[in-house]
Structure 1
Amino acid sequence: MRVLQRAAGLALAALVAGALPAMAQQKTLRIAMTAADVPTTTGMPNNGFEGMRFLGYPIFEGLVLWDLSRADRPATLRPGLAERWEQAPDDPRTWIFHLRRGVQFHDGTPFTADSVIWNLDRYFKPDSPQFEPAGSGITRARTPIMASYRKLDDFTVAMTTTRVASYFPYMAVYILFTSPQSFERAGRDWAKVAELPAAGTGPFRLGRFTPRVSAELLKHAGYWDQARVPKLDRVLLLPIPEANSRLAALRSGQVDWIEVPPPDAIPSLRQANFNVVTNSYPHVWPWLYQMGGTTSPFRDVRVRQALNYCVDRAGLVQLLNDTAEPSVGWLKPSDPHFGAPQHRYGFDPARGKALLAEAGYTAQRPLSFKVMISASGSGQMLPLPMNEYMQQNLKEACGVNVAFEVTEWNTLLTAIRQGPDAPILNGSTATNPSSPSSDPAVAARYFLQAFVPPNGFNWGQYNDPEFEEAFAALENARDEAAYDAAYARAHARLVDNPPWLYIVHDLNPRAMSRRVRGFVSAQSWFQDLVTVDLQ
């Protein structure tokens, strides 16, 4: 591993050194990502939400976009390639999107309803010439309720969902659009589209792309919103999955910005005049329980509750140098939709062991299970030391034996799209993918029975009738009070009948040179590179 890290460091040094002459005349921001590889560049990036953060929204946009302009509140939605949208008055399952006029892809071709339908066929119509299996899998998982769509005129599109969903715009935000001409130029081969580069409509356009080495974003001076033309000329994205390698790259001046610095290095980074930025945002770092597997101990709610009482979350926060906060539910206790659950989890080993004993697990017959984890990845924080802490904590506090199946991030994402007992899990009955907790659309995908794989992310096969009832009221809500009340009832069930072991909420740390200016740490997985400048 050290040899590989040394080789990666030499390759990074050579790449950055070779680029210095070009950078001398440009404002070039160099970012070290946590991903093990450069996310795919066809317009629907892999590598989870870090892929969307850096190789998604800056280049390829949706009809709906995130408003990342503020740091003092969770990110909301704003118009993107659609100027506005509404539910059809005669059918609440149908949403009408009114497209923005005058928008062009980076290749100069116009953005119209035809290009919207072409991209929707790419994701949702397997027999279309442009169908892209990889992009389809990602998009379908994030938009599992798409039923049909149609062009109403050159600048109006209708989308119909399988169920009434007040939150559908929060799903539409993940459908990105690539120029159909990119596909034609590549000979109708998506593998070649990735190398063109592909054309989107965003404030940055793709430059050079070298798998496992780097991706280059270039300012798009002709962006449709002239108030949001980037201040930077160029962004160089570098995959550096190992935290200490990212730290070394920042300290040596090879990069200007790193995602997730090692927590124990934060005080010295600040002393060395680096800027360390944190902010609360809707993100939870959990273990997902498998409740449908034939041998899973998590079919028993007492086991799921017990582990939530066995975790010393404050100790883990201390290990992370206060770059996280304890999690006792999918939402934070300060969230107005947290609700009033009966269980308020804290570090209470006696209660945890009592619940385990009720379920038949004692010192003579201890609970034992395997968790599939990744070595790095989007939003995964520092998964290896954090999971080692969890392993020791659960053993010492409640006598629980935990083993790990360590894999690569994209393999873990593939695994949680499979059913229980799938061979890829290798006996794991829990998994450790971090999750956004930004809106009910995400909750639907993770917790509604309708969205067990392959229809969504309900990998654990969670099925709670009270949650389903409350969530149906949320989906059909027509006023804010009804929506808020239903959301709070639904979330209380996620605490009292927990589908996950809630561990911590991330505080989104990143470290950067003092030369980096204008960055707004949005309360979101996604960040706006348009406002960033270099001194």
Structure 2
Amino acid sequence: MSSQEPKAQNSALSPSRRDVLAGALAAVAGLTMTWKGQALAGEGEKVLRVAMTVSDIPLTTGQPSQGTEGIRFIGTTIYDSLIAWDLSSGEKAATLRAGLAESWSVDANDKTLWTLKLRKGVTFHDGSEFNADAVVWNFDKLMKKDAPQFDQAQSVQASQYYGSISSWSKVDDNTVQIRSKKPDAAFPYSLVNLFFSSPKRWEEVGGDWNKFASQPSGTGPWVVDKLVPRERIELKGNQNYWDEARRPKSDRLVLLPMPDANTRVAALLAGQVDFVEAPPPDAIPRLQGAGMQIVTNAYPHVWCYEISTMEDSAFHDVRVRQAANLAIDRDGMVALLGGLAIPAKGMVNEGHPWFGNPTFKLRYDPDEAKKLLAEAGYGPDKPAKLKIIIAPSGSGQMQPIAMNELIKENYRAVGIDLEFEVLDWETLRGRRRAGAFAPENKGRDGVNNSWAFWDPDIALLKTAASSETPPTGYNWGKFTDAKADELVSAARNAFDAAEQDKILAELHAHVVDQAMWVWAVHDLNPRALAPNVKGFVQAQSWLQDLTPVVVE
């Protein structure tokens, strides 16, 4: 596990922050008797209590809501995927590993046909068998609208993961074949976020997904015991889990939605939780003074604006896009975040195999930004007007209000008039899935959505290709570029990893030169843990494994 001591110029909180935190502590104190009275643990149980940044319990039926935080806390706890991430090390970037499929391969003569050998002996939490029939049933629930088990809610959440799949079939009880719509060397990454629900449990609840949500059954390392919407979900360790190395060390995992950062800090200081996501930077000194562990690590993640390049947006002009990137004081933003970030120089970090050699260098250069804006026809008397959709909190958003206000000031100084539409995180995700061209997004020039780049699809291929617009792709703003399309096609047909990396590096350099998005900082994924929390290995990934974690 790697950690970094955060920069903190002041050893104490500012008076205003102290007042806010004092209020949050008082609020948490009011909840103390409530939580204690709900008997979160049986006698002698080892319990891990985690404060999430989301405002509600993610969807529990199989395909979680609430973005990748939902996947982290519900998808990979209750459920499994055919192919998974190896999250066991903090010293290297996470890589793919076998999940419910022991192996996968593409046909030598037909690069659209993939064969997956399923793991034998796996059962759902209800005791029923996981097999090829269950795989087909679950793909039907997402993509076959006339199937009895089709669920629109899950289909929407999974749409950006199954978009490359054209068909699926059972070969035998332990083998399935999946066909992609076109040759796609990145196809295995599409399967990582598709999770498998129990057909038997669905039948037991009368084919009602709403009832299934309160008593879900997957194959994962944790089993749902109690669920109170907007308040908490309690999971018991699955000691019959098929992967013995990942059988939970804690008896019970309690997940609590706490979108307010100060409330999370107060809950940790008051001993009401053991583990919090995204502590605010200016609370770090107090947390450290109280003996809390502050854990960080580099990982593939960037805080950015996905922007519209359509003709009705000022961002249609590459000069405006470049100016918007040059106007951001990234060092100032890093300082705002207490040192828990690094300036972005593109979608991926410098030194990444896909970084390449962009000729347009992301930096803080307000004079050059003003020059580019003037060339595009904007100036002090005619500012470029932009409207960005943001959320006050959410999965990986760090401190979005303060960060966006800093950008607004930076933009005002160069001649960009920035306006925000503030939405709840899940509502924002819906607007992102709709695309810039949707009626509800008319007049919006971008969406502020932190972004992962752990696989080629989410990093570059589905963001840069003109054909990959929502809901199945990530090209929110209809970025259209012939060279980008050519390089995306080449990367999808490069089944040799080294060759694919070379093409992806060229693609990344090109989209940076074209300022496809506005990139601000890469965060360091901070978490605060109570002193007696042991076993957590912070992987270089947005996803994390809680199975080895225990409160001593």
- TM-score computed with the length of structure 2 as normaliser: 0.93
2:405 to 388, 402, 409: 388
Q: Hey, what's the Cα distance between the residues in 2 that align with 1:432 and 1:43?
A: 26
Report how far residue 424 of structure 1 moved: 3.0
Report how far residue 413 of structure 1 moved: 0.6
Moved more, 108-117 or 297-306: 297-306
What amino acid sits opposite 1:226 in the alignment?
A: E
1:407 to 388, 398, 423: 423
Partner SS, residue 57 of structure 1? helix
Partner SS, residue 453 of structure 1? coil
Hey, what does 2:451 align to over in structure 1?
435
Corresponding position: 1:524 with 2:537: no
Hey, what does 1:457 align to over in structure 2?
474
Corresponding position: 1:247 with 2:265: yes
Contact 1:142/1:445 (<8 A) preserved? no
Q: Hey, what's the Cα distance between the residues in 1 that align with 2:349 and 2:163?
A: 26
| Structure 2 alignment gaps of length 5 or more | 1-19
Q: Hey, what's the Cα distance between the residues in 2 that align with 1:388 and 1:497?
A: 25
Hey, what does 1:484 align to over in structure 2?
501
1:186 to 205, 216, 236: 205
Contact 2:161/2:472 (<8 A) preserved? no
Distance 1:123 1:238, change over 3 A: same
Hey, what does 1:77 align to over in structure 2?
96
Report how far residue 444 of structure 1 moved: 2.2
The superposition leaves residues 177-201 of structure 1 with CA deviations (integer Å, 9 ceiling, x where unpaired) of: 0101121122111111101x11111
1:41 to 35, 41, 60: 60
Q: Hey, what's the Cα distance between the residues in 1 that align with 2:29 and 2:282?
A: 25
Report how far residue 392 of structure 1 moved: 1.2
Contact 2:161/2:193 (<8 A) preserved? yes
Partner SS, residue 103 of structure 2? strand
Q: Hey, what's the Cα distance between the residues in 2 that align with 1:313 and 1:445?
A: 26
What amino acid sits opposite 1:492 in the alignment?
A: A
Contact 1:405/1:426 (<8 A) preserved? no
Hey, what does 2:319 align to over in structure 1?
302
Corresponding position: 1:92 with 2:111: yes
What amino acid sits opposite 2:70 in the alignment?
A: G
Moved more, 42-51 or 472-481: 472-481
Distance 1:7 1:113, change over 3 A: farther
Report how far residue 278 of structure 1 moved: 0.5
Hey, what does 1:221 align to over in structure 2?
239
2:298 to 280, 294, 299: 280
Q: Hey, what's the Cα distance between the residues in 2 that align with 1:297 and 1:21?
A: 53
Q: Hey, what's the Cα distance between the residues in 1 that align with 2:117 and 2:30?
A: 47
Q: Hey, what's the Cα distance between the residues in 2 that align with 1:515 and 1:5?
A: 23
Contact 1:421/1:427 (<8 A) preserved? no
Contact 1:374/1:383 (<8 A) preserved? yes
Distance 1:134 1:445, change over 3 A: farther
> In the TM superposition, what are the counterparts of 1:308-327 in structure 2 within 5 Å?
308-327=325-344
Corresponding position: 1:208 with 2:217: no
Report how far residue 141 of structure 1 moved: 1.3
The superposition leaves residues 115-137 of structure 1 with CA deviations (integer Å, 9 ceiling, x where unpaired) of: 00000000111111101111111
Corresponding position: 1:175 with 2:202: no
Root-mean-square deviation (Å): 1.8
Contact 2:24/2:266 (<8 A) preserved? no
Report how far residue 456 of structure 1 moved: 1.8
Hey, what does 2:517 align to over in structure 1?
500
Q: Hey, what's the Cα distance between the residues in 2 that align with 1:95 and 1:247?
A: 46
What amino acid sits opposite 1:280 in the alignment?
A: A
Contact 1:372/1:425 (<8 A) preserved? no
Q: Hey, what's the Cα distance between the residues in 2 that align with 1:8 and 1:117?
A: 48
Count of residue correspondences:
531
Contact 1:72/1:523 (<8 A) preserved? yes
Hey, what does 2:9 align to over in structure 1?
none
Hey, what does 2:388 align to over in structure 1?
371
Hey, what does 1:108 align to over in structure 2?
127
Q: Hey, what's the Cα distance between the residues in 2 that align with 1:200 and 1:8?
A: 35
Moved more, 308-317 or 131-140: 131-140
The superposition leaves residues 134-188 of structure 1 with CA deviations (integer Å, 9 ceiling, x where unpaired) of: 1111212123111111111111001111121111111111110010112112211
Partner SS, residue 388 of structure 2? strand
The superposition leaves residues 296-354 of structure 1 with CA deviations (integer Å, 9 ceiling, x where unpaired) of: 11111111111111110000000000111111200001212100111111101111111
Hey, what does 2:249 align to over in structure 1?
231
Corresponding position: 1:67 with 2:86: yes
1:146 to 165, 184, 188: 165
Q: Hey, what's the Cα distance between the residues in 2 that align with 1:459 and 1:38?
A: 26
What amino acid sits opposite 2:349 in the alignment?
A: K
Distance 1:191 1:126, change over 3 A: same
Corresponding position: 1:424 with 2:440: yes
What amino acid sits opposite 1:28 in the alignment?
A: V
- TM-score computed with the length of structure 1 as normaliser: 0.96
What amino acid sits opposite 1:236 in the alignment?
A: V
